[in-house]
Structure 1
């Protein structure tokens, strides 16, 4: 252990959320007034009381990785390779709000674990980052956020406006006269979602930005006379939080019709997911030969070679070999999300292997996560850590950590949950 960040992650417990500041940052007296009193009952593991320290070198490497990944995966050659759907002519390709790039930190730099197109938690992590409290003046020297969060809400409003402009270049996002645009935040049974509180925060933010905003399940939306509607009200834009990424579920027919016809602006949309987030892409990005075929620069290929762990598609031809070498891999379903049905190879049973070996999976080289020591009831406990970079158009907007124990990230670990990221010189 020779980095300052390593030392602090082992022995520094100088920061914790200021509960009053967190309540204020979450506007818990207004939009979350009904939820806040039950925070410890329903979301007791949402926020960790401990931040994660990350060196500037690692942070800059993640910035560059996100930039390079975005550039590579929006190139014409990549679009042709993945055959991303584009059902109607768009003036420009939408970027997709709140792209999420998940990393594990290693001695040789950050390693990409996966890419998400509707990454949750950004609003909550912004509030948590702003609510940190240092126990003494000396600790203030290390209370440096990994990104500038001072104007982040304005940047997020601009991000939605940019997504609108890319698909509706001649129509103002916020009209000066006439009715307001209506945006729908759409997810299955939204009020039962664990991150529903941030839907309320987004609703409040976007309303302050000049929009009408509804939070709706897809079943509450209808396709009427060439319009997507909610209770008779026309929907102009959809912030899509569904995990039915291609809108193929028959229950989502109205949404799909709105997307295929171009009747609504969608962000993110099926094309965004097809370009960036299919787990199959991890295998392609780690294939050096394919990088040459794509015509990517030597720098792009070098960054990808360093940041993307070797990943292989699970096929009948290599199944026996991957089973024999399973301890060196992490297995993920191609269409999975949120660590569902994902397995560490050394934890696999023959019964589970018999099931997943018949399904579309990838085997990603196992990259152990870094660690953070936390205190729970005055006792030290070692948790695993991953880093999420929330980004737009290839630019990182916010870093956040997730602390957990077990095979994959979760919100059930004592001392774990979302954690702010602080930058250190080394």
Structure 2
């Protein structure tokens, strides 16, 4: 299965990041409960969400959920990283995790029958500069036995002609949409939008699923009932970070409280436009368009020591709807998550004393 490993992109680190059994169980239970809330509020959440990620900051009081994504990147790096802490069945675990991922892709994108899948395109913008291009190519290799063909394409290479989305003369049947134009509204994506509206393609993750799950404004609603799970013995909780529209307070009020908050754009991604309050100047805060920004209660990144240097991290849990299927820590330096700095990357997560990530997942499923 080595052909499904990313050939480029963020590094896969060897040193594991510890996570307690209790914290892992809290996240697994809380993710299930949050998913139930999401679908109850908007059934469109279940319309082809594909691979989700729940980004979590472990804290002394328990894990805190700070973001949910529908086009989660890094899953193959996470699967690869899991091998580093597996002291019992590394090959079996790798096969199991990839099979679980492929099962998800079959349900939401490929369909169950390779003979009727057609041509699949993994589509993003400006491919040459994408840090996860290697992962897209590896995912194409993973899916290729289950389709007529799988191509990794730049959105600019596609056109809508004769009632079909086309790459050159080839008609595209299914699209794994990796662009951060989540709602497919940018003019340069008009061909994809026309094909989607005409029912000429199957596309995942769907714009409707993104709106129901990953639009950052959902956090405003969810944080009205922030506790997702609680461990009665330790008192630890898994909770949603409090999130409010920036327009609810004046500039003076936000500046006075800035150290308690992180300021995030409603439509942002990959930490772009995100400002940690303790580091923002008053003039920069005043420049932020309050109507397009949210304030999220600051939950500090935990820190690990690597060769005498402090490194921050969070934990990205990959999920099929409300069921965790993988995990990795994102290790970095700086104010916000960024995996391009030398030495940063995806690290394995060691969950309590379990021999492997799969073992921890099976233990949670059995409870």
Give the TM interval when normalised to the shorter protein: 0.7 to 0.9
What is the DSSP-based 3-state SS (H/G/I as helix, E as strand, rest coil) of the residue aligned with 2:159?
A: strand
1:367 & 1:144 partners in 2: Cα distance? Answer: 35
Q: Does the aligned pair in 2 maintain the 1:26–1:127 contact within 8 Å?
A: no
Q: TM-score, normalised by structure 2?
A: 0.86
| Of 104, 108, 132, the match for 1:159 | 104
Inter-CA distance 214–234: structure 2 relative to 1 (3 Å threshold): same
2:251 & 2:229 partners in 1: Cα distance? Answer: 28
- 1:228 Cα shift? 1.1
Q: Does the aligned pair in 2 maintain the 1:332–1:343 contact within 8 Å?
A: yes
- 1:412 Cα shift? 3.8
| Of 60, 65, 82, the match for 1:129 | 82
Q: Following superposition of structure 1 onto structure 2, how do residues 223-242 of structure 1 map, counting pairs within 5 Å?
A: 223-242=160-179
What is the DSSP-based 3-state SS (H/G/I as helix, E as strand, rest coil) of the residue aligned with 1:415?
A: coil
- 1:323 Cα shift? 2.1
Match of 2:42 in 1: 79
Inter-CA distance 247–104: structure 2 relative to 1 (3 Å threshold): same
- 1:244 Cα shift? 0.4
| Of 11, 14, 36, the match for 1:46 | 11
Q: Does the aligned pair in 2 maintain the 1:95–1:392 contact within 8 Å?
A: no
Inter-CA distance 160–315: structure 2 relative to 1 (3 Å threshold): same
Match of 1:422 in 2: 350
- 1:156 Cα shift? 1.9
- 1:220 Cα shift? 0.9
Q: 1:200-224: CA deviations, max 9, x gaps?
A: 1011111123441011111111111
Match of 1:118 in 2: 71
- 1:133 Cα shift? 7.4
Q: 1:87-146: CA deviations, max 9, x gaps?
A: xxxxx942422211100001221100111110111112212322x279xxxxx5xx899x
Matched, 1:105 2:37: no
Matched, 1:329 2:306: no
What is the DSSP-based 3-state SS (H/G/I as helix, E as strand, rest coil) of the residue aligned with 1:223?
A: strand
Q: Larger Rg: 1 or 2?
A: 1
Q: Does the aligned pair in 1 maintain the 2:264–2:273 contact within 8 Å?
A: yes
- 1:246 Cα shift? 0.6
Q: Does the aligned pair in 2 maintain the 1:326–1:345 contact within 8 Å?
A: yes
Match of 2:218 in 1: 281
Match of 1:9 in 2: none
What is the DSSP-based 3-state SS (H/G/I as helix, E as strand, rest coil) of the residue aligned with 1:185?
A: strand
What is the DSSP-based 3-state SS (H/G/I as helix, E as strand, rest coil) of the residue aligned with 1:315?
A: helix
Q: Does the aligned pair in 2 maintain the 1:319–1:357 contact within 8 Å?
A: no
Match of 2:28 in 1: 63
Inter-CA distance 278–226: structure 2 relative to 1 (3 Å threshold): same
Q: Does the aligned pair in 1 maintain the 2:215–2:267 contact within 8 Å?
A: yes
Inter-CA distance 27–283: structure 2 relative to 1 (3 Å threshold): closer
Matched, 1:340 2:272: yes
1:411 & 1:186 partners in 2: Cα distance? Answer: 22
Q: Following superposition of structure 1 onto structure 2, how do residues 85-100 of structure 1 map, counting pairs within 5 Å?
A: 93-100=46-53
Q: 1:342-387: CA deviations, max 9, x gaps?
A: 0111111122112114451111110011121112xxxx11111100
Structure 1: gaps of 5 or more residues: 1-23, 36-42, 85-91, 135-139, 292-298
Q: Does the aligned pair in 1 maintain the 2:14–2:348 contact within 8 Å?
A: no
Inter-CA distance 173–263: structure 2 relative to 1 (3 Å threshold): farther
Matched, 1:386 2:318: no
Q: Does the aligned pair in 2 maintain the 1:173–1:181 contact within 8 Å?
A: no
Q: 1:312-332: CA deviations, max 9, x gaps?
A: 101164443222211100110
Q: Does the aligned pair in 2 maintain the 1:49–1:415 contact within 8 Å?
A: no
Q: Does the aligned pair in 2 maintain the 1:374–1:415 contact within 8 Å?
A: no
Structure 2: gaps of 5 or more residues: 232-236, 355-367
Q: 1:48-93: CA deviations, max 9, x gaps?
A: 3421111111111111122112111111xx228xxx7xxxxxxx94
Q: Following superposition of structure 1 onto structure 2, how do residues 390-405 of structure 1 map, counting pairs within 5 Å?
A: 390-405=318-333
| Count of aligned pairs between the two proteins | 348
Inter-CA distance 357–233: structure 2 relative to 1 (3 Å threshold): closer
Q: TM-score, normalised by structure 1?
A: 0.75
Match of 1:89 in 2: none
1:390 & 1:407 partners in 2: Cα distance? Answer: 23
